Amino acid sequence: MPNFSKQAVFAGGCFWGVEHLMQTARGVLDVQSGYTGGELENPSYEQVKTGTTGHLEAVCVTYDPAHINYETLAKLFFEIHDPTQTDGQGPDIGSQYHSAVFYADDEQKQIAEKLIKILKQKGYKIATKVLPLQTFWPAEEYHQDYYARKGTQPYCHMRVKRFD
């Protein structure tokens, strides 16, 4: 990736749908599905899907800050999954599908907390956690660009406008 790029890591249920919808944003250079938040090094999908590793299915979004900023990406994240669901997303239930923003620095943390505060003021009961970024482990190749390769659309992710 170009040296001017930045990264953001989000977990919003099954990574396929989050990856697919994040890729649509102008200024996004790459989105990679993977795992973060757990203790096991280099976990596999087979391990993470058990819900016992502490990892969440997540995406690492590489973006060009000249075309999109972190706040815009974070707003998109909160609009493409249900940040109020406490044990997964849609039909995908389990701790590996929890909602979380993994911040790399104080600015990302403050933005995520600000957006959660706005959503709470609008009456949403936000379940999304704001956590320090840990190692992001890329998922297996067959998980990357899943919907683009299958030619289908996400089954549990769609955009719902929550911000003005």
57 three-class SS? strand
Nearest-angstrom CA–CA distance, 71 and 62: 14
The residue annotated as part of the active site, out of 8, 14, 73, 111, is: 14
Q: How many CA atoms lie within 13 A of 74 on its CB side?
A: 24
| 14 catalytic per annotation | yes
The residue among 44, 30, 42, 23 whose CA lies nearest residue 136 is 42
> How many beta carbons lie within 10 A of that of residue 110, not counting itself?
13
Paired sense of beta strands 56-63 and 28-36, if any: antiparallel
Report the catalytic residues. Answer: 14
